[in-house]
Amino acid sequence: MFADTDLSCDGFLGGRLRIWQPREGYRAAMDPVLLAAACPARPGETVLELGCGAGVASLCLAARVPGVRVTGLELQAGYADLARRNAAESGLGLTVVDGDLAHIPAGLRAQSFDHVIANPPYYPASGGTPARDAGRERALREKTPLALWLQAALRRLHPGGWLTMIQSADRLADVLALKGAGSIAILPVAPRAGRDATRVILRARKGGRGALRLLAPFVLHEGERHMRDGDSFTAAAQAVLRHGAALEI
């Protein structure tokens, strides 16, 4: 568990949401905001977030779509408690379940959802320098294989339900190993025009039969390079990150 002195309260969606996060552990940035914006949930529908952390993606989605019913599954108890606190203080509905997606708790296994969203760890289990903080290391480095994240997501979806996932661009081949879903759309996310994408957002439909679509990149920053301090987001990125707009796919 985290003491208040170990936390910071950070603004998301232009300050519309205030989220408690550990100062030294895993700290959400723009990726969960993009994930929430890409989920096509509508009021009254159900959403499960696998690995919800402190609740940033789930709460950004709940803020954008009034009446959506969101459940988060989180392995690390301290982060699960933060997600509950953040939901309560924001006045948004979020049910948080403690558990491992590789061994879904029985109560959650009995449910299915209209949507599943996920922001799995980007870094492979081997190689690289481990993070000094254990919670950050667990959130960023793959321990449960990405294939199991994909399988768990599909099992929790209704037939015809939608999976939305954000992942490092260099893991795209692993993401496309998804079986049991179709109508796949891939949105590359590039830091600037003309730069390689660093992230990809996948949307896939359980049982879908549509052709795979590779979309034009979503560009985050204006200009060819960083020229000044401060906000250089494109108008489209500002709409999503600052104003809570949907990310159309």
pLDDT confidence of residue 128: 60
246 within a domain of the structure (yes/no): no
pLDDT confidence of residue 142: 60
Phi, psi of 163 (to 5 degrees): -100, 130
| 197 Cβ contact partners less than 8 Å away, ≥ 6 residues apart | 169, 188, 189, 190, 217
247 within a domain of the structure (yes/no): no
248 within a domain of the structure (yes/no): no
pLDDT confidence of residue 1: 81
Bigger pLDDT: 134 or 10?
Answer: 10
If you average pLDDT over residues 10-28, what whole number do you get? 94
Tell me the C-alpha distance between 192 and 137, whole Å: 28
What's the pTM?
Answer: 0.91
The CATH number assigned to the domain holding 27 equals: 3.40.50.150
pLDDT confidence of residue 144: 83
Where does 51-198 show beta strands of DSSP type E? 69-74, 95-98, 113-118, 157-168, 181-192
pLDDT confidence of residue 230: 59
Tell me the C-alpha distance between 159 and 128, whole Å: 39
The total number of structural domains that make up the chain: 1
**Which residue range(s) make up the domain with 174?**
4-241
Quickly state the pLDDT bin for 208 (edges 50, 70, 90): very high
Q: Please say if the pLDDT value at position 157 is more than 70.
A: yes
Give CA 209 to chain center in angstroms: 25
If you average pLDDT over residues 213-224, what whole number do you get? 92
pLDDT confidence of residue 164: 98
Bigger pLDDT: 130 or 105?
Answer: 105
pLDDT digits (tens, 9 = 90+) for 35-76: 999 999 999 999 999 999 999 999 999 999 999 999 999 999
SS3 48: strand
114 within a domain of the structure (yes/no): yes
Tell me the C-alpha distance between 3 and 1, whole Å: 7
Q: Are strands 7-12 and 17-22 parallel, antiparallel or unpaired?
A: antiparallel
Q: Please say if the pLDDT value at position 118 is more than 60.
A: yes
37 within a domain of the structure (yes/no): yes
Q: Please say if the pLDDT value at position 137 is more than 60.
A: no
Looking at residue 37, what DSSP letter applies? H
pLDDT confidence of residue 207: 96
Quickly state the pLDDT bin for 26 (edges 50, 70, 90): confident
Residue 190 tokens read as 């590039």
